[in-house]
Structure 1
Amino acid sequence: MNLSELSIPQLIDEYLKGPKLLREAVAGMSREQLLARPFAGKWSTLELVAHLADFEPVYGDRMKRILAEDGPTLFGGDPDKFAAKLAYHERDLETELCLIECVRRQMATILRTVPAVDFQRVGQHSEAGPLTLRTFLERITGHIPHHLPFIAEKCCSADWRCQRASCACETESLGEVR
């Protein structure tokens, strides 16, 4: 799906779908399965969910600052440094999922009140340069769907296999693994 082709209301609706998709992707996984690293040097499923949960409020803050301030400076963050220092393997899956859901619900409420013209307001990202509110919304809307194939591939490669009816393990290759 090309998010840039959606209207603002459609984009916000897609943004709100992400947490449900993530919940479905990890449904029924044991703690052992969440912590498994079937690919050396790649994140476990729990680390991936913790990454999503850590960057959800970052994006929420960026969008709020673009709305509230004129041309704010917005700092980047290194996902691997977050993973190395922020106890990703000690995190509780439900807490992480709830955080993502809460941030998105709050932001959707805010974004639905914003005049269309304000989606062109700009923040100065420290790494990517000037970016609009709409661009940030598109990026965070695509963040969960971007990572879902990585969760599925971990599940499909592990000894336990996911055994879910919706699993695509036998029918398709899921590409690059994070």
Structure 2
Amino acid sequence: MLSQISENEYNPYYAMYISKAEYPDIVLGLQNSREEFVDFVQSIPEDKMTYAYADGKWTVAEVLQHLIDTERIFSYRALRFARNDQTPIMGFEQDDYVPNSNANHYSKEDMLSDFVAVRNSSITLFKSFTDEMLTRIGEASKSPMSARAAGYILSGHQKHHCEIIKERYL
């Protein structure tokens, strides 16, 4: 299904994330990337969790919280679109979320538990969608988005941030 996604199903900004989604099946991609993510986060030394590679950059913990918050938001978007809700959804400002997340005060175990709970919920949600529901398009941040685009973005967004953590933080 990944090869069938059309550029009119998402804002061009998200093309980078969609291109990083490794599995054509959204549910399989979410399941496999869940396991990869848990293994990856468990390998991060505890003292790196509150490390930022430069002033004004997010810490590792804040990046992880950003992934959790974004997953909640994009799963909600997918639900709305799959149910054919045509009410436009406003965007969210990630840079407002992070400083208000308290991420640097959570343990790695608590963050992983939260991530797994949210991801499991996303997996259950996407399992419930028919092919027709996945291709329904709504509006988010003044741009079209299909439910399936939101699903691919979840996996690709996670991979993108894991790559950044590996390159800049570890």
Q: Do the structures match in fold with TM over 0.5?
A: yes
Partner of 2:2: 4
TM-score w.r.t. length of structure 2: 0.77
Report the 3-state secondary structure (helix = DSSP H, G, I; strand = E; otherwise coil) of the residue aligned with 1:123: strand
* Native 8 Å contact 1:25 1:151 kept in 2: no
* Native 8 Å contact 2:50 2:60 kept in 1: yes
Spell out, residue by residue over 1:22-68, the C-alpha distance to the aligned partner (whole angstroms, 9 max, x if none): 22222243432111123332211111101111111111211112223
TM-score w.r.t. length of structure 1: 0.74
Partner of 1:167: none
Structure with larger Rg: 1
Partner of 1:133: 147
Matches within 5 A, 1:5-154: 5=3, 10-127=25-142, 129-154=143-168
Distance 1:13 1:36, change over 3 A: same
If each structure's helix is expressed as a fraction of its own residues, which one has the higher value?
2
Name stretches of at least 5 consecutive residues in structure 1 with no aligned partner.
Answer: 157-178
Aligned residues: 153
Name which structure has the greater RCO, CA cutoff 8 Å, separation 6+.
2
| Segments ≥4 residues shifted beyond 6 Å | 6-9
CA distance in 2, matches of 1:100, 1:74: 24
CA distance in 1, matches of 2:78, 2:114: 17
* Native 8 Å contact 1:66 1:72 kept in 2: no
CA distance in 1, matches of 2:63, 2:56: 13
| RMSD of Structure 2 on Structure 1 (CA) | 2.4
Letter of the structure 2 residue corresponding to residue 47 of structure 1: E
